[in-house]
Every structure is written in C-alpha cells, then in structure tokens.
Amino acid sequence: VSRLPELSAWARSEVEKGGWVRRGYEQARRLRDLHGDGNVADLSLGQPLEAPEKAREAFIAAARDGRARRHGYMPNLGFPELQERIAEDVGVAGVTAQGIAVTPGAAGAISLALRTFLDAGDEVVGVAPYFSEFRLYSAAAGLDFVAAPGDRNGGVDLGTLEAALGERTRAVILNSPGNPSGRVIGTEPMAEVAHLLDEHRRRTGVEVLLIVDEVYRNLVYAPSHRAEPFDHWPRTALCRSFSKDLGIAGERLGYLAVHPSLTSADTAAAMALCQRALGYVNAPATAQLALLALDDWSVDVTPYRERRDLIAAAISAAGLEAAPCEGGLYTWVRSPLEDTMRFVDALMEERCVVVPGVAFGVADHVRLCFSVPRAQIGIAEAALRAVTDRVSAAS
C-alpha cells in the first residue's frame, strides 16, 4: 500500500508560507517570557479591547435564557427576531430579515457570501494590502484570489482594480475600515468603484458581486465617514460582526446582509444550505441571545480613537510615514529600511512586535495594531524612536 501524506498539499503549503500574524504572536510570547509581561509591546494580533460591561452582562442573561429548545437545533440563518433586529440595524430602505444570515463572525459571513453566489473556478478580486484570510476563504471555496495593488496609502486604486477585473471575475471584495490600511471608503470612492463595475457589466455582461467587509464598521473616527455600499451597487453583500466593537471575537457572531435586489426566498434557502455546507450550521445560539438581550448595540469609540492618536503621535515623532488611520485597529506604516524584515527584527530587539506587510501582499510596510494597553504604546514609541535614530545615524 502506498502511504498517503498526512496533510493535504494545500494545508501544508499554506502553513509553510503564511502565518505571519501568528508568528508575531509567538515571538511576543517569547519576549514576554524573557522580559516580563509589562515590558513588551505586542502590536501583532488584531485583538479587540475588553468587552464592555453591557456585553458581559448580556452573555450572562443569555446563559440564563430558558426558552424551549434553548440548546437544540435552531434555524440555520439565526433566531428570526435577531434577523429582524439586524435588518433594522442595517437601516437601509428595503432591507428585510429575509436578506440576513446570522453567521459565526465576519469570517463566516464572507465565506457564506462566496459560497452562496460564486462557483469553484471563479475569481475574487481584492485590494492589496488585504486581510490575508481573504485568500484562505477564497481557496476554501475553490476560488482564485487576485490582488489589485492599492494606492500609496493602501486605498483603492481604480486603475489597478479595473485592470484586475477579468473574464473569470465574479466578486470584488472591499474592506472598510481596512485591515491593515486603516482607510475608510467614503461615498465618492465607493461611487467610483460602482461605476467601474457598471462599465465592466456593460462590456462583459457580468454583474460582479461586491462584497464589503465591514467588520470594523462602528470604529470609524470622525470626520471620516463610511459610504453606504447598498446605495451604490445592487449586487452587494455586507459582511459584519460584533467581534471587534463589542470585544466578543471569541464568541463568533456576525452577519451577512444582502441587498434588497438579491433578497428572496431562494436566496434565503441557498444561504441556509451553504451555512450547513460550510459545516458551521448556525452561529452560536448563546451569542445570538446575548445580542437580543442588549437594547442597544452602539459602542464608545473613545478608547480606540485615543490609542489611534497616541500611536499616530509616536509614528510622527519617529519621523515615519503612515497611511491616514480613519478607522479600525491598525496603522499602516512605511518601512524606513528597504529590507522591511530588518525593520521588523530591529523593532523586536526593542521589545516591540509588529507584522510585516508581506502578510498583506505589500512588502514595504508594516502593520501596527494599537488596541493594546496604553503602556504598550509607550514601549512601541520608544522602540520606533530607537530604531529610526539608528537608521538615520547609519545613513
């Protein structure tokens, strides 16, 4: 008998080539062992701040919920009353509960959108720098992920996006606020993307699905404003979650909301089927009940904005260049050294862990996650200063 390899070739090669964020996490752990917990700035993982008290209370209330079949199988697309609340929360005329699938986080929502609307062999176009998992979600659905280089600050570049649209393109995925770019797509760029998709439709007869990943939707820093994607392109799917703004990433709760023009009993049946095909069947029941137990899903962005301001000041004090951070948890910084890995390593020697841009398809930058205790931003500030001082002394 010939022995088969233990792992799939795909899993093996992805493990070998990827995992930058996890690698950062491991390095931070090693540094903490060496220098002590309070002496390391771990800006690698996109961990949200602690869940606010109201979210914790809601989970306690949900655990006590004693409704019938509380722990049994439930509708694949979520508790109907939660679908209703989400449709209201989307707040766009014509959006109804029928167009909502409650999912295990935005990861589930994106995977579900790809599964429901695309077929194996299709292409998905994203803007680089991109959230690295987009490649994995696409590959898991048998799709090819194609990166269109963004502009200098990680925003959408219409020229490269247009060039990336090909015969097999069936979806474009945008992420706003962006991970890692920190950029928010406002009304004008969203309208331009829609115009481009419309021209593509006229040329090829193909109406591309626009997937908008808004996992950080409630973390937009004024005066920046998000666009309402549904106002611009009908074939649109919004992918959101409560992971970040409510600090409940481990509870796995998000949703997919499809445009009214895509909403129908057929679409709902397809989404329910795909939720099962993906193997997660439904989003966790207790997390759904917790969301129902909360009267209000609003979040206070102040602790995030304060940290955004602190890291921005640290970056500019070190004389570094960063993309404007308009939302989310990350700052996208240009490496002052041609060899970005040397910059990453030099920061690590100063006890500051960041993720190299290669993880997001753009090699000359690094990503700093600022949703960390303020003291860690202080360590990062000193590290950035020490490294850039050495760079200027050497040149």
Ligand X SMILES: Cc1ncc(COP(=O)(O)O)c(C=O)c1O
Question: Where does 214-298 show beta strands of DSSP type E?
Answer: 236-241, 254-258
Smallest distance, Å, CB 46 to ligand X? 4
**Residue among 197 and 287 whose Cβ is closer to ligand X:** 287
Beta carbons of 230 and 259 less than 8 angstroms apart:
yes
- Smallest gap from Cβ 148 to ligand X, in A, equals 16
Q: Kindly state the helix (H) or strand (E) to which residue 332 belongs, with its residue range.
A: strand 330-334
3-state SS assignment for residue 334: strand
Question: What is the per-residue burial (b if ≥16 Cβ within 10 Å, else e) of 326-354?
Answer: bbbbbbbbbbbbeebeebbebbbebbbbb
Residue 200 vs 240, nearer CB to ligand X: 240
At 120, list the tokens: 């194996």
Residue placing its CB nearer to ligand X in the complex, 175 or 388: 175
Residue 46 or 361 with smaller CB distance to ligand X: 46
Q: How far is the CB of 349 from ligand X (least distance, A)?
A: 27
112 burial via Cβ count (<10 Å: 0-12, 13-18, 19+): buried
- CB nearer to ligand X: give 249 or 285: 249
Nearer to ligand X, 230 or 255 (CB): 255
Cα–Cα dist 70/284, whole Å: 11
- For 187, the token pair is 């009304």
* CB of 72 vs ligand X, minimal distance in Å: 25
Q: Is 169 helix (H, G, I), strand (E, B) or coil?
A: strand
Please, which residues bridge with residue 368 across strands? 331
Least distance (Å) from ligand X to the CB of residue 130? 8
Closest contact distance (angstroms) between CB of 127 and ligand X is 12
* Residue 100, Cβ density class (10 Å: 0-12 exposed, 13-18 middle, ≥19 buried): buried
Q: Work out the number of other CB atoms within 10 angstroms of the CB of residue 209.
A: 25
The secondary structure of 17-74 as a DSSP string is H--HHHHHHHHHHHHHHHH-GGG-EE--S-PPPPPPHHHHHHHHHHHH---TTTTS--
Query: Closest residue to ligand X, Cβ-based?
Result: 105
Q: 213 - beta bridge partners?
A: 175, 239
Of 105 and 154, nearer to ligand X (C-beta) is 105
The minimum distance between CB 174 and ligand X, in angstroms, equals: 10
Shortest Å, Cβ 29 to ligand X: 19
CB closer to ligand X, 107 vs 272 = 107
User: Site residues (CB under 6 A) for ligand X?
Assistant: 46, 105-107, 131, 175, 179, 213, 215, 241, 243, 249, 254
